[in-house]
Amino acid sequence: MSSKFPKHFLWGGAVAANQVEGAYLTDGKGLSTSDLQPQGILSRLSPRVAGDSGIKDVAIDFYHRYPQDIALFAEMGFKCLRTSIAWTRIFPQGDEETPNEAGLAFYDRMFDEMAKYGIQPLITLSHYETPYGLTQKYGGWSNRKTIDFFERYARTVFERYKHKVKYWLTFNEINMSLHAPFTGVGLPEGSSKSAVYQAIHHQLVASAKVVKACHEIVPGGKIGNMLLGGILYPLSCKPEDVLETQRQNRDWLFFGDVQARGAYPAYMQRFFRENGIQVEITDEDKQILRETVDFISFSYYMSGCVTTDEESNKTAQANILNMVPNPHLASSEWGWQIDPIGLRYLLNELYDRYQKPLFIVENGLGAKDRIEADGSINDDYRINYLNDHLVQVGEAIDDGVDVMGYTSWGPIDLVSASKAEMSKRYGFIYVDRDDAGNGTLERRRKKSFYWYRDVIHSNGNNL
Ligand code: BG6
């Protein structure tokens, strides 16, 4: 039987600099907003003082171990590796005139290592890694100047790596700012809605500016946006629930609408008006927003429900999105509901809406792993999760959706974003490190390593 997956499908995995690299002050790197949240996105901002430490400071030491890790990815047959460039390695405070050569040289070495195995880099320009210097001095993304600093950084890395990196992403989960403003746009908790949407607007303008820059600088370059694909279903068929679900889905689709269609959607006018939100959008901004992305990328871990019933709303899960649980679905150990069919549904919805290629750049199961007496790790739960989701990707491709690739989240165990845990493992490769930072950092192949290798080898035919 021939595979449903296209011949040049980009199979691989995805990580982010702040969750794997460690070396948080090495070779001139400055502090990022991520370094200011050593307990993760869900924690309060804790300004660092000398002597403080956090698990992300070393993370899994990818900064020094990347050749070994990339060799393991190659062993699985990766065609693509998604990671981010840590902005603060290139511009440590964010507002320097010239870049930090040691930081640039690190990514040269990393891309060269990937090239040895024919692995395409997919590079996120900003994965919750805004320089802390910019938030301190300029108020982060609330300030228009941050757009220029970001553009300078993006142009610098496009110029430097234009012959090494073809695929780029602007902001990781750009809609995250609605849930975690410090993480997304460097604004303090409790900021007004107007302040958050103004900062988001600046980020959308910055995104469009670097789309333009990428097209100017990188020969054959393709650049996408990145959405947190938290698709919502109505809990009931009550019309009020259906309408409220549409409204809440628009909260995040709004970002994609601007980035893929090139203008604010009509429904935002009413949303802004009814919520007393003032956003300054200049004519020049409107012009630049027309620079739309080449493809849409997104993360997908779970779906959720929406209801207008106050009692049922009290059961909203304690995850960052506060979704109402779906009674038909099971959950992971972290309470994230598992919904493979939701991925097919989401792919179809996004393709119908945007008619642009789609790239699933995060999907995976965070779970606790156990090492058996013989040293093996039998993570069938992870295999089942990924297999079920990939079957649905195949179905969506059969539905006619143009899917460029799939990079599972955390192909090697890394520090989780929400609570900075090591015990929430996503990898095909185990890393010996616990939540307190103890361990040798030794790497070990899990059962899923061999399973994923076979999936890639058969181009999805063995799912
Ligand atoms: C996404 C992020 O929100 O989900 C990643 O882009 C993150 O950075 C991933 O790691 C999974 O979340 P967590 O909290 O389990 O690490």
One-character DSSP codes across 97-109? SS--HHHHHHHHH
Range in 36-40, 126-130, 239-243, 319-323 the model is least confident about: 319-323
Pocket lining: 421 vs ligand 1, CB cutoff 6 Å:
no
Question: Does 374 map to a domain?
Answer: yes
- Give CA–CA dist 230/228, Å, rounded: 6
CA atoms within 13 A on the CB side of 314: 2
Q: Whose C-alpha lies nearest to ligand 1, atom 4?
A: 417
Of 165, 157, 154, whose CA–CA distance to 121 is shortest? Answer: 165
409 Cβ closer than 6 Å to some ligand 1 atom: yes
Question: 408 forms bridges with which residues in the sheet?
Answer: 13
pLDDT of residue 238: 97
| Residue 1 belongs to a domain | no
In a domain, 183, yes or no: yes
d(CA 179, CA 113): 36
- Please indicate, yes or no, if residue 462 is contained in any of the structural domains: no
**For residues 307 and 234, is the Cβ–Cβ distance under 8 A?**
yes
Residue 415 located in a structural domain: yes
- pLDDT, tens digit, for every residue of 203-238? 999 999 999 999 999 999 999 999 999 899 999 999
Express each pLDDT in 149-180 by its tens digit.
999 999 999 999 999 999 999 999 999 999 88
What CATH number does residue 34 fall under?
A: 3.20.20.80
CA–chain centroid gap for 420, Å, is 15
Domain holding 304, by residue range, is: 10-457
Active site residues: 362
Q: How confident is the model at residue 49 (pLDDT cuts 50, 70, 90)?
A: low
Name the band, by pLDDT with cuts 50, 70 and 90, for residue 48: low
Is 60 exceeded by the pLDDT of residue 22? Answer: yes
Structural domain count of the chain: 1
Backbone angles phi, psi at 114, to 5 degrees: -65, -40
Residue 38 has pLDDT above 90, yes or no: no
Residue 423's alpha-carbon distances to 40, 112, 367, in angstroms, are 14, 31, 7
- Please give the DSSP secondary-structure letter assigned to residue 131: B
Residue 11, amino acid: W
Q: Is 299 in the pocket of ligand 1 (CB under 6 A)?
A: yes
Largest CA distance in the chain: 65
Sign, CA torsion 445/81/297/56: positive
**119 and 79 Cβ atoms separated by less than 8 Å:** yes
DSSP lists the bridge partners of residue 299 as 228, 362
Task: Answer whether residue 5 is part of any domain.
Answer: no
- Give the start-end residues of each E strand in 293-376: 295-299, 304-306, 358-362
Ligand 1 center–CA 187 separation, angstroms: 20
Nearest CA to ligand 1 atom 8: 417
pTM of the model: 0.97
Mutation test of ligand 1: which of 416, 425, 426, 435 has the most ligand atoms closer than 8 Å to its C-beta? 416
ipTM of the complex: 0.99
Dist CA 287 CA 299 (whole Å): 29
329 pLDDT above the threshold of 60: yes
Domain membership of residue 345 (yes or no) is yes
E strands present in 75-136: 80-84, 120-126
DSSP letter assigned to residue 288:
H
**Is the CB of residue 358 below 6 angstroms from any atom belonging to ligand 1?**
no
pLDDT on residue 43: 75
Residues 410-420 have a mean pLDDT of 96
| CB distance 417 to 33 below 8 Å | no
Establish whether residue 230 lines the binding site of ligand 1, counting it when its CB lies within 6 angstroms of any ligand atom: no
What is the SS3 assignment for 222? Answer: strand
Contacts of residues 245-251 at CB distance under 8 Å and 24 or more positions apart, as own/partner, are 245/305, 245/306, 248/306, 251/175, 251/178
383 contact partners, CB below 8 Å, separation of at least 6: 447, 448, 451
Confidence of residue 18 (pLDDT cuts 50, 70, 90): very high
